[in-house]
Structure formats: C-alpha cells, structure tokens
C-alpha cells in the first residue's frame, strides 16, 4: 500500500520524474517477460523407474535380454539397479513391488533397434515369448508406416515393445 501511495503522491510533486518512473517500470516488466518467453522451460527425460519384485532376476533380464549397460547407482543398498539409456537418460529398477501384479499391454516401455530380426534371435536364444499387438505368438505387428514391432514381458510382467523405427534418434 505504501508503494501505491508514493506513486499517487509523486506525480503531484514532480510529474516528469513520475512519468519516467512509470516508463522505466513498464520497460523493465516487458524485458523480464520477453526474456522468459525467449527461454522456455525445457523438460528432458532423466530416468524411468520400474518397481520390481525380485531385483536379481529383473536385473539379469534388462542386462541380458535388452542388453542395457549397467551403471553405478548411488544407494548401494541392494534394492536398486541402474542402466544407461544413452542420451535418453537412465532406467532404474527398484526392488519392493508385490508379486504377480496384472499389467496392461497399453502401459509399456518401447525401445527401437536397427534389426528387429536380430533382436528376435536374441529373444529366441533366451526362450522369451513375444507376440504382436493382438497377441499372436512369434508374429511381429507391421504398422501402417512399415515399422515392425513385438511385445513381451519382463519377469514382473511389465510390457515391453521393441520395434525397428529408425526415425527416432
């Protein structure tokens, strides 16, 4: 309230000084709003956390089936495993989930590979069952844009899609 009162009284004593003060305040406000508009908030993916029942089997799956490189995790409590996803960030496995949780295929992670056939060979070597979207075993879905995709589950039932979409870098 004092600020408003001072502004109200000031024009009576020195209208030019008051006018300059108003102009400076307006310009200052405009500069602040322009600088915010020029620098929008940018979100980047840092990590994806997956809550698992048994950390050892989940870690082996993501390391051997998805071939994700493990990285050091800071907790050192035996309840976490971290993997790098390259520029996309990290994947964190966290032990403590209930066993046998039903999962919906619509809720899935998706990874792209250069060769879906080579990836399928790896799944077959490890005896991992995969399906297309409708659920037909060992049959990739071919999207309208020609991308092939398959679906399978990790040891906790989390759905994973792997496709050969090379447009994502």
Looking at the structure, do residues 77 and 57 belong to the same domain, yes or no? yes
Task: Answer for the pair 126, 110: CB distance below 8 angstroms, yes or no.
Answer: no
Question: Do both 117 and 169 map to the same domain?
Answer: yes
Same domain for 90 and 143? no
- What tokens were used for 29? 């406000």
Last residue of a domain, one of 100, 115, 140: 100
Q: Are residues 55 and 106 in the same domain?
A: no
CA 117-119-125 angle, 5° bins: 105
Q: Which domain holds residue 81?
A: 44-100
Do residues 144 and 111 share a domain? yes
> Which one of 74, 100, 126 terminates a domain?
100
Looking at residue 5, its pLDDT comes to 38
Assess whether 85 and 65 both reside in one domain: yes
Let me know whether 107 and 163 are in one domain. Answer: yes
Q: What pLDDT is recorded for position 38? A: 80
- Predicted structure pTM score: 0.76
Q: What pLDDT shows up at residue 39?
A: 83
Q: 114 and 163: one domain?
A: yes
Q: How far apart are CA 59 and CA 68, in angstroms?
A: 10
The answer on 107 and 96 residing in a single domain is: no
Give, for 48, the enclosing helix (H) or strand (E): strand 47-52
Per-position pLDDT tens, the chain of length 169: 444 434 444 445 555 655 544 545 555 555 455 556 688 999 999 999 999 999 999 999 999 999 999 999 999 999 999 999 999 999 999 999 999 999 999 999 999 999 999 999 999 999 999 999 999 999 999 999 999 999 999 999 999 999 999 997 6
Counting the structural domains of the chain, the total is 3
CATH code for the domain of 69: 3.10.180.10
């Amino acid at each position: 309230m004092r600020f408003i009162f001072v502004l109200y009284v000031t024009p009576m004593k020195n209208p030019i000084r008051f006018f300059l003060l108003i102009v400076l305040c307006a310009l200052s406000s405009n500069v602040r709003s322009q600088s915010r508009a020029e620098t929008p908030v940018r979100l980047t993916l840092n990590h994806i956390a997956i809550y698992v029942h048994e950390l050892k089997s989940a870690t082996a799956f993501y390391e051997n089936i998805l071939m994700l490189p493990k990285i050091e995790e800071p907790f050192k409590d035996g309840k976490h495993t971290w993997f790098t996803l390259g520029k996309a960030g990290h994947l964190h496995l966290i032990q403590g989930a209930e066993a046998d949780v039903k999962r919906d295929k619509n809720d899935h992670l998706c990874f792209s590979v250069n060769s879906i056939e080579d990836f399928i060979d790896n799944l077959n070597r490890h005896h991992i069952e995969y399906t297309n979207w409708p659920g037909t075993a060992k049959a990739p879905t071919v999207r309208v844009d020609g991308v092939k995709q398959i679906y399978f589950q990790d040891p906790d039932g989390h759905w994973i899609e792997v496709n050969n979409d090379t447009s994502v870098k």
